[in-house]
């Protein structure tokens, strides 16, 4: 319900347009308004934050084109996820893009200064989980959160997990990335007192069933304060973690 | 690492106990310390919040006994989840318990004044999802969050969802509870700009496979900012929502 | 976008209410309008058709109350599905309800004269599938379609299927209800030249996995013109079949 | 039971063939008759409509040969589905084939003037679902239906869906094509008052399990009037939608 | 194509009925004829064999009624499967029924003298598999096969299996009934040189998933000559084993 | 228990070897004896029949070597299954092998004259099922059975199935090969009075789940006399069908 | 190959029985011999250990009868698993049976003095897992192992697990019993240097799918030295743990 | 709790560092200590045993680097699993590595003299299971166990299994490796009196579902003393078998 609607009503009041015309315009508009309204609010709250392009299934030309449009509209920072090395090189011909190889992400424009409530910890069970974790970490960084990486702290070597107890207990949000048996989420969920986001990965073989094992384990976590996103969905976890880490905007807003 | 450890070290310094004795005590203690430390921090941060007893599989006597111990330790408010009507009546003989029938929860002691960042919206797709939603709502309330209930706003009657757009767009956290196709989470996730927690329910029949259908749908939500808890896990969603809604404590703490 | 909106705009035009007030009212209304608009269209098109109450999980008192409200609003015919024998007897104390035991359905008010394009054939593979088939048949009848029942014409006794070839080839829509291997849908789909709706049932044991076997078979039907609804969802099939059988309204409307 | 049978009986009556010979001929024939009878009826009802060749697993030579035979039998329009770009180029050497790349379909001969009851809306949740949607759209067009395409109107951006409310509410049949959580079918099913055909797609990753997630969601849709076809089965949906959109032939026939 | 058809043709030849009438009669009949023809052939081949009533989901009255009709039609022996003890007692009031408690089968009339090629061995892995095995054994016996029972010869005690090597190597057909890991089928399939029918049972717990484990194991048997029926389908195995054991009729017939 | 054992005992009786030596020899032998005994029986019964080499995962050299050994041992006919075109060409350098491309089988030596009870019918639902069907047909032929092929007689075009009613009703054994919904097995099982072996194939897409759909449908067949082998297991079905078709050997043996 | 065989051979040597008779006896015996041989070895190695009766599906009379036979054969100690309270009371009328209610086990006779290599630790994640753990613990005790119980040491409260580090690091074998996410096995597997046996339990709800979640997690454990038994199979774990704990007998034997 | 801790305490006692400093150091250390402590114990117990590098997902450079570090730390023998032929050749440029092609393992340094309790038998059902079996065998050998290989002794040719009865009955531990129906584990588990570790393999097709069939069969084994590791996890089985075979260290340690 934005200024256009008010303008329309004032035009009706002032007899500038007929009731019939107004009915027609209102029939089409409100649903567009919802969208715009949401975008507006969003923009007000998150000034300077990055827009995101989901790169999978898009050609370098399409990605460059979308980025172009965003930049023309005043967007300063753009995050491109699921971007292959080859595509990145193509996009770089059109835009000054920094490519984060591990995360398979490209970034155009400056990364904002972190202004969240605290630090987001991104932890992985093993080294094979790192690409998913990096997608989460880069996403949260580009959206304006400070990120601490704790990689290869799987529960089979519990001393590795515990040697980072300070980071875990001081985190604002924790993203626990693990394949195989996915136990990391429960162990961290039991140690931390902040929201924990489990990201099951497709790392493993045999009865890991491409991440199903880790997914089910995380859903059944006996630790409180834990929720789960899709298998290998590093972006989703990073986005949500940043949103929680920026709950301060909610209050101030 | 609490006062006991410091006391132990002071005793070593002061020659009150031998190094050997200290080694032995330290060998056993640190792991207990982690627990106590955590409980301490927790207590400092969340003064006045409720302790929780998971009622399923416990006899009324056991529940009453645990509550007794908590109360003796100074706990003011206790939440008992998965509590049957019959068990509640038994526990009421020992404690002044209020029973929330829909939520299958019992509460001992005062419910704290809400002091979170904003309001937690608990929405359901249908009326059959209400017991799970109530478990979430009561949990969040007892932990100190204000809760708005939007029940029976399933996406097949989209006008019902949209008629509550204000609540959805102003929420601090949203818990979307739905069985069957679980689409509510995606629709709300697309409208809201706060964290959304999906709770799949076992409501449905046939190919709902006891909640599997809703669970998969929510995990695959195309909306950003969504995460998922176990099927029918109202408590988990309420607990997490409250934790997010109290991110202000993180900053102040 | 109904008369209320037009009235509101006329009031703005006539200066009866301020623009501010109108903005507020419009902010809340349009989403309700969608609903009402849909209901209106629906009512115009389907004058006299039944409203439906899903009886599962509702008390007899709730059902009677909802029916009461519908009747007060001028609804002549009401269909209540998933209604147990016991509940039906309770509802009968408040309303003159006819109970169709096999279909587990109750009907209040007159069943309309059939006015669809043709006849809806409801076929079952075996006798155990009849309750689901009856739910479909009663639903379609009460909504205004003529129904032909072909029960126990499973493909293992193909002569039974083929002895009803005339009914199959002259049908307007066919609902094929089958458990176990669900082959009925393919055989009928291959013989008929009208839309065929497959309803897998949970009839069977062992590797039927409560209807999964029939569901998968129907989804993989090699016959064209076949679609599928949820396991045991007789109502859904009957409702959809009637909607297709009343495509004449679309043209006239 | 066609003219051949009548001729046979007349020959028996006239003593031209013995009863023994007639018994033998009848033993073999009736089942062939069913087939021919069906083809005949079909042809009478749907004069001018396209025949379909399922291209998957056929060599370009086989496809060209089948098309050849059809054309020699007087068929004017032929649709070839699941046709790769390379195969299309081979077939084009033998026939003047138009290749619809997105739909992976080839068309030989003129596309008939639309003569159905109304318009078929083909909607997709995202851009990755477009190939499946195009298969449906091209199929329905070639069979004689007018098609309206609403692509990328997924529920996470509800304003996009709602901005096409007119198309949705005026459609004759709607094909809702979506992967991931498949919520589009429920949202559209709740808005429309025509038959809605859900087509789950294999678009997604992780817990989408190659379309299982969308399939289950659509089968459990809480909206009435919805049915489902196999994962990625654009052809099946287009064929069925056209059949429903040509229910007027049923009445006239 | 039975005598009725010949009679009809003779009537046409003799001018007793018109060609028009004959066309009408033939339009309806042939499909019935298929059925009758099959029943006739069946009866000729298997004179004296039992008819079968599937008792599950039928009332004692229905069972007694069907049996009554069969007996009036000259059937001497009737097998009733899935018959509960209580139902059996009811049926016994109307017919002299012998109840085989373990097999949950009732038999009316004499059991025919065995006249098959050889002996059917029914083997079980454990004692809990016996009810399913008995259903198979009683079925094969009543249909006219000699049955040898080898119960509790599971592979974990291989000496038990091997101590019956003579029976296994001399069998005409073997039915291997096993739950849990279903290995019995492979071991027997490796020892025998006759057809082996695996019957997975729902015996087990946990990861037996109600017979899925045994079903998959039997389908993957590395032994040649093995096929599988549905979980707990003793009747199906007994029927098929008898059919194979009566292949001598094929040659003689 | 072969002549060697008797010889051993005679040697003991005659004092040619000590009891100690005999104990040692007997400790090792009986288990070998089982194997040899079985091979012997087998050879006596099935003189002239083919030996089989499972080609998958074996190099052409290994296959040629095994065939060599078999031929040296007097085997006249050898069947090699799952043999790629390339491997066949390699093996042909060493042996005069005929390669059946559709069946992916190679044959060395003469195919025996059919001497079974009757004809084995191999039927397929569609043309894509033919490779699996050919594996079955070639296997049964090489083992000494006459085979009738009925391809592309799927149930969606029932007249195609029924036009081969004579073949179906006169068959000795029927192998029904079908993917997708696997209904062919039930339809044929309902028409035939001989053993029917269902072979689910991985033909299909989406919810066919690589043959799971057809497998479950066949296991749940409502027709009696049906059993099932593993997905795509043409060899297993052909081997079993031949064994049943040679039940005459059992009697004569 | 026991004394009977030697005796038989001596009788052949001494001319007491003919070669023919010996051939016949040997044809039947060796397979029995395998069994007896095994039992003998077993008895020698494990003198005094308990025999086990699996109580599920057996009547109290059957259990008492089997126990009777065992006792008459000199067995001193008998373990009866899966024994209900009611059945235990019945068996107690015949034998002096001690009933372990939590473990659902009955014991007849003395429990042997522990003589294994070390202590078997039985740990559970929660209190609901205790019945399965007790079945394991009682089994291992009755077979002659010393057992240490660590109950409710789930990983969400890691300090509880770690406070028992000494027990874990000194154990001979560890049985880790857990439902839900089954992470206990990995955590303990990472801390211990002895064999760890995971027992998934059906404790949990929703996406625990009756123990599937814990089962998959344990199978995918990233800790070395871990293996898994069936869901809820406490007996199997206890039996195996005792066998490993008595590897000293292997050396001495 | 190592010397560092004692030193720290002595420093506190001696006043060399303050209590505050000690508190800080202790806060970080104990968790590291757990790790070191475990490594120490491990080293004492298993002097000379190999360290293991999991090669999958590591570059040859990474592998060579890790090996380098291990060798510099005094490790004599290193096992590298899941090592491709190509990677092995790269690593060989840096280290004198022996490559076991079948096992896909590389070994640096001497293989220790076997010093376990007895022999570990590694048995496979078929020849395709050999790579997984070799991974197990090489692992156990390199860790210091003597290994006996029994390959291709699948249960469909039981005489092959039984001809190795001596090996089976004398084994210290048995690793049973099998795909398809996985029956080998049960048969061997029934014959042996030592711990049996089942390794399901992904060998098979169709309903083997990449090893699920064998996995479920092994979990449901009716033989006592059996446990299971992940599909294709030869290393896990070899490691665990060696640990059990070195239980003598436990006693001596």
Inter-chain CB proximity C5 and A15 less than 8 Å: no
Chain A positions touching B191 (Cβ under 8 A) are: 34, 38
When mean pLDDT is compared across C42-46, C130-134, G167-171, the lowest value belongs to C42-46
Which residue in H127, H128, H159 is closest to F31 by CB distance? H159
pLDDT at D230 over 70: yes
Q: pLDDT tens for residues C59-110?
A: 899 899 888 888 887 888 999 999 999 999 999 999 999 999 999 999 999 9
Q: Is C206 left (phi over 0), alpha (psi -120 to 50) or beta?
A: left
Chain D interface residues (partner E, CB cutoff 8 A): 1, 5-6, 9-10, 12-13, 15, 19, 22-23, 26-27, 30
Q: Is A194 left (phi over 0), alpha (psi -120 to 50) or beta?
A: beta
Give the residue-averaged pLDDT of D233-238.
97
Question: Which chain D residue lies closest to E18 (C-alpha atoms)?
Answer: D13
Residue C30 vs residue F251, higher pLDDT: F251
Chain B interface residues (partner C, CB cutoff 8 A): 127-128, 157-163, 165-166, 205-208
pLDDT at B159 over 70: yes
pLDDT at C152 over 90: no
Chain B positions touching G159 (Cβ under 8 A) are: 31-36, 38
Inter-chain CB proximity H157 and F35 less than 8 Å: yes
Question: Which chain C residue lies closest to E210 (C-alpha atoms)?
Answer: C206
CA-based nearest distance E117→chain H, Å: 25
The C-alpha atoms of residue H233 and residue H241 are separated, in whole angstroms, by 12
Inter-chain CB proximity H215 and A207 less than 8 Å: yes
Q: Which residue has the tokens 């073999």?
A: D28
Chain B positions touching C211 (Cβ under 8 A) are: 206-207
Q: pLDDT tens for residues D130-147?
A: 999 999 999 999 999 999
Question: Which chain H residue lies closest to A161 (C-alpha atoms)?
Answer: H31
Mutation target to probe the A interface, by most A beta carbons within 10 A, among B162, B171, B227 is B227
Q: What is the pLDDT of residue H11?
A: 87
CA-based nearest distance H25→chain A, Å: 12
CB under 8 Å to B40, separation ≥6 — which residues? Answer: B2
pLDDT at F35 over 50: no
pLDDT band at F27 (very low <50, low <70, confident <90, very high): low
The C-alpha atoms of residue B142 and residue C133 are separated, in whole angstroms, by 48
DSSP string, C44-57: HHTTTPPEEEE-TT
Give the residue-averaged pLDDT of D197-221.
95
pLDDT at G19 over 90: no
CA-based nearest distance A103→chain G, Å: 24
Q: What is the pLDDT of residue C200?
A: 97
Q: pLDDT tens for residues D83-103?
A: 999 999 999 999 999 999 999
Q: What is the maximum span of chain D, computed from C-alpha positions, in angstroms?
A: 76
As given in the structure block, the two tokens for residue B124 are 């359901």
Chain F interface residues (partner E, CB cutoff 8 A): 34, 37-38, 41-42, 45, 52, 117-118, 165, 169, 172, 191, 193-195, 197, 215, 219-220, 224-231, 236-237, 239-240, 243-245, 247-248, 250-251
Q: Which of C49-63, D121-135, G19-33, G62-76 tops mean pLDDT?
A: D121-135
Q: pLDDT tens for residues B174-187?
A: 999 999 989 999 99
**Percentage, residues of chain E above pLDDT 90:** 58
Chain E interface residues (partner C, CB cutoff 8 A): 27-28, 30-36, 38, 57, 200, 202, 210-212, 215, 230-233
pLDDT band at D2 (very low <50, low <70, confident <90, very high): very low
The C-alpha atoms of residue E116 and residue F248 are separated, in whole angstroms, by 11
Residue A20 vs residue D119, higher pLDDT: D119
Give the residue-averaged pLDDT of B80-86.
95
Inter-chain CB proximity E165 and G230 less than 8 Å: no
- Torsion angles phi and psi, residue C226, rounded to 5: -110, 135
Is pTM beyond 0.80 here?
yes
Q: How far is CA H79 from the centre of its chain?
A: 10
Question: Nearest Cα to C242, choosing from C119, C75, C91, C83?
Answer: C119
Give the residue-averaged pLDDT of H227-247.
97
Inter-chain CB proximity B127 and C215 less than 8 Å: no
Rounded (5°) CA angle C30-C34-C38: 155
pLDDT at F21 over 80: no
pLDDT band at H9 (very low <50, low <70, confident <90, very high): confident
Q: What is the pLDDT of residue F47?
A: 38
Chain E positions touching G30 (Cβ under 8 A) are: 162
Q: Which residue has the tokens 């033939």?
A: E26
Chain C interface residues (partner B, CB cutoff 8 A): 27-28, 30-36, 38, 57, 200, 202, 210-212, 215, 230-233
pLDDT at D244 over 90: yes
Mean pLDDT of chain E: 85
Question: Nearest Cα to D187, choosing from B202, B189, C78?
Answer: B189
**Percentage, residues of chain G above pLDDT 90:** 58
Which residue in H162, H172, H224 is closest to G239 by CB distance? H224
Question: Nearest Cα to D160, choosing from B151, C39, B222?
Answer: B222
**Percentage, residues of chain G above pLDDT 70:** 86
Q: pLDDT tens for residues E117-154?
A: 999 999 999 889 999 999 999 999 999 999 999 998 88
Question: Which chain F residue lies closest to D202 (C-alpha atoms)?
Answer: F206
Q: What is the pLDDT of residue D29?
A: 47
Give the residue-averaged pLDDT of A14-26.
75
Give the strand pairing for E105-108 and E78-81: antiparallel
- Number of helices (H), then strands (E), belonging to chain C: the values are 11, 9
Q: pLDDT tens for residues B214-232?
A: 999 999 998 899 999 999 9
**Percentage, residues of chain E above pLDDT 70:** 86
Residue D204 vs residue C50, higher pLDDT: D204
**Percentage, residues of chain D above pLDDT 70:** 86
The C-alpha atoms of residue B107 and residue B70 are separated, in whole angstroms, by 13
pLDDT band at F25 (very low <50, low <70, confident <90, very high): low
Q: pLDDT tens for residues E104-117?
A: 999 999 999 999 99
Instruction: Write down the ipTM of this complex.
Output: 0.84
Inter-chain CB proximity G236 and H219 less than 8 Å: no
3 state SS of E196: strand
Which residue in C45, C228, C251 is closest to D248 by CB distance? C251
Question: Which chain E residue lies closest to H190 (C-alpha atoms)?
Answer: E156
- C124 in Cβ contact with C227 (< 8 Å): no
Question: Which chain G residue lies closest to B203 (C-alpha atoms)?
Answer: G206
Q: What is the pLDDT of residue H143?
A: 94
Q: Which of A76-80, E8-12, G16-20, H136-140 tops mean pLDDT?
A: H136-140
When mean pLDDT is compared across E168-182, G19-33, H47-61, the lowest value belongs to G19-33
Count CB atoms within 10 A of the CB of residue H40. 12
**Percentage, residues of chain C above pLDDT 90:** 58
pLDDT at D53 over 80: yes
Chain H positions touching A128 (Cβ under 8 A) are: 57
Chain G positions touching E157 (Cβ under 8 A) are: 35
Q: pLDDT tens for residues G55-81?
A: 888 889 989 988 888 888 788 899 999
Chain B positions touching A230 (Cβ under 8 A) are: 219-220
Q: What is the pLDDT of residue E49?
A: 61
Q: pLDDT tens for residues H23-64?
A: 656 654 444 344 333 333 333 333 346 788 888 888 899 899
**Chain E: touching chains (3 or more CB pairs < 8 Å):** C, D, F, G, H
pLDDT at G45 over 70: no
Chain A positions touching H30 (Cβ under 8 A) are: 162
- B133 in Cβ contact with B149 (< 8 Å): yes
CB under 8 Å to E43, separation ≥6 — which residues? Answer: none
Residue C207 vs residue B157, higher pLDDT: C207
Question: Which chain E residue lies closest to D9 (C-alpha atoms)?
Answer: E19
């Amino acid at each position: 319900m934005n200024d256009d609607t008010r303008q329309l009503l004032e035009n009706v009041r002032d007899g500038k347009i007929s009731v019939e015309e107004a009915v027609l315009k209102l029939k089409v508009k409100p649903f567009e308004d919802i969208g715009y309204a949401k975008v507006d609010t969003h923009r007000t709250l998150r000034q300077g934050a990055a827009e995101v392009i989901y790169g999978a299934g898009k050609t370098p030309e399409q990605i460059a084109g979308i980025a172009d449009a965003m930049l023309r509209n005043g967007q300063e920072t753009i995050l491109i996820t699921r971007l292959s090395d080859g595509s990145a090189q193509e996009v770089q011909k059109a835009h000054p893009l920094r490519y984060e190889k591990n995360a398979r992400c490209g970034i155009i424009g400056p990364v904002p200064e972190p202004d969240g409530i605290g630090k987001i910890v991104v932890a992985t069970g093993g080294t094979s989980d790192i690409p998913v974790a990096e997608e989460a970490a880069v996403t949260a960084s580009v959206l304006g959160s400070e990120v601490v990486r704790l990689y290869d702290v799987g529960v089979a070597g519990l001393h590795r997990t515990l040697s980072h107890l300070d980071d875990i207990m001081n985190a604002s949000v924790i993203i626990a990335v693990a394949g195989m048996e996915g136990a990391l989420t429960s162990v961290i969920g039991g140690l931390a007192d902040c929201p924990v986001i489990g990201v099951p990965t497709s790392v493993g073989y045999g009865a890991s069933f491409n991440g199903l094992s880790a997914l089910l384990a995380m859903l059944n976590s006996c630790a409180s304060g834990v929720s789960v996103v899709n298998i290998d969905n590093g972006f989703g976890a990073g986005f949500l973690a940043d949103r929680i880490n920026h709950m301060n905007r909610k209050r101030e807003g």
